[in-house]
Structure 1
Amino acid sequence: MDPASKDQSKADTSTSDEERFEDANEKAVDEVIEQVTGLSVGTSPKTNTSSSSEQTDKFVDCRSDPGSDEEALTGKGPTAGGSSVEHEDDYIDDESQRDFEKSLSEEEKLANKAKAEELKAQGNDLFKQGEYQKSADMYTAALRICPVDFNAERSILYANRAAAKTKLNFKPSAIDDCTKAIEHNPKYLKALLRRATLYEEADKLDESLEDFKQILELDPDNAEARAAQARLPPKIQERNERMKEEMMGKLKDLGNMILRPFGLSTQNFEMKQDPSTGSYSINFKSGGGK
């Protein structure tokens, strides 16, 4: 065989291997989706989906009505056992996905985006039926296909998955998904509002207040954010005072343990706070405190 024929043979083999890899990868994704959700890709669940143009172009999340909005934000409503156990199999590695997509053509990326939109539509229908775990799995499958450069689409997918996880009471993971949605779209009010509410429920009051402040910058008339801006500062101050009292109690116990061998206790000392700086000074009380 002449060198040109050998080179052509290698090229054919390389192309064939690449095609087989892509086919196997696509088949593996489809099999995972079917195993996890019990649905075939391209098959709609029980209810009819909206038109493909509406699902692709409309920048909305999966919540179907105002009532479900409140439930998704507060975690009230039906849950799958109320478990707080997090799943580790829904992690999305954006960097690895970005590296893989460097080998894809624009046509292939658009095809993957369309497939992700189809999965999102199925996830939306499952969410409306109360199938929150299957819904979250569909959004995960869509995120693994949707090209990383499509920020608007990925932001919605993360926000939708956060809504499903909130229903399942997977709140720490829901917060993470809200954060990813905001990274893809910093002005996504619904994701900010959901994360702010979840932060408050998790007693992360400072983080919650910061999110509500950001919401007011984007939407000065937002009633929920205005109410939170009035509600949270007193709660934060109360928490800080409680933490300070607990800390002082622990310091007193530690001080007594250290001073006891010397026949002393913290009662032999007085602590004064400087009103201008808030710092404390400790002074020995001679002949007293016993």
Structure 2
Amino acid sequence: MVMIQPEEENEETVLQNLPKPQPTASTSKTTTSDTTRTKENGSDSDGFETASERGVSDNEEEDIVNKGINPENSAEDQQQQQQQQQHTQNDAELIQGAEEGNEAKLEGNRLFGNGQYEEALLQYELALQVAPQDVPSSVELLSICHFNRGVCFLKLGKYEDTIKECSRALELNPSYMKALVRRGEAHEKLEHFEEAIAAKKTIRRLEPLAAEKREKMKEEMIGKLKEMGNSLLGRFGTSIDNFKAVQDPNTGSYSISFQR
């Protein structure tokens, strides 16, 4: 009996016998597009989407609304951010100006202590230029620099300039006792006796007020220190009242004793 062996289909025959897929509308469209790109670029497409090939909406405003973004609110937010950045920048400039002004004042004090009055005048002037103007925190620095310039002029015998600088210091701080005294001395040097007498009268009137203010400030400082001390000592079951200061009548020094 003769055995008939079935023919082995080779790989090429199998591939030829497989049913060919029918092109769909989208496939046909893609093929046409790929063909067009191939003709334009002169090479086959790699199949990756590029930015120029992505669809762009014709209505950008609609896209913004769909994403939940209000153009008006966005503009307001941007304005608020800009204002906040401006405030932050202004604060940084104020801090930097105050630091530079204080450094110039300290350098002026050093020069004044060495008897270099002309050089000290320049440093005080620099402090007045770089320190923030019309800022409450700078009032003390500005008034001190004007007063210090007045003292420099007094040392140099320029009494008119002393009066001007001390007057500026008093405009910033009307209760500046030292400025009143130095201005009175300059008036006396110039034989402005009425102004000198008025200055002395003002000093006598302000002296008890100044002493009262100093005493009040001292009491407030002591109160704050006691409050801080009690908050710390309270953890150990004690307070500032447990400590008594006893003065030695011979030396005038104080000793601290603990009492329960």
Q: Which bracket does the TM-score occupy, shorter chain normalised?
A: 0.3 to 0.5
Higher relative contact order (CA 8 A, sep 6+): 1
Report the TM-score, using the length of structure 2 for normalisation: 0.44
Q: Tell me the TM-score normalized by structure 1.
A: 0.40
**Bigger Rg, which one:** 2
- Write 1 or 2 for the structure with the bigger share of helix: 2
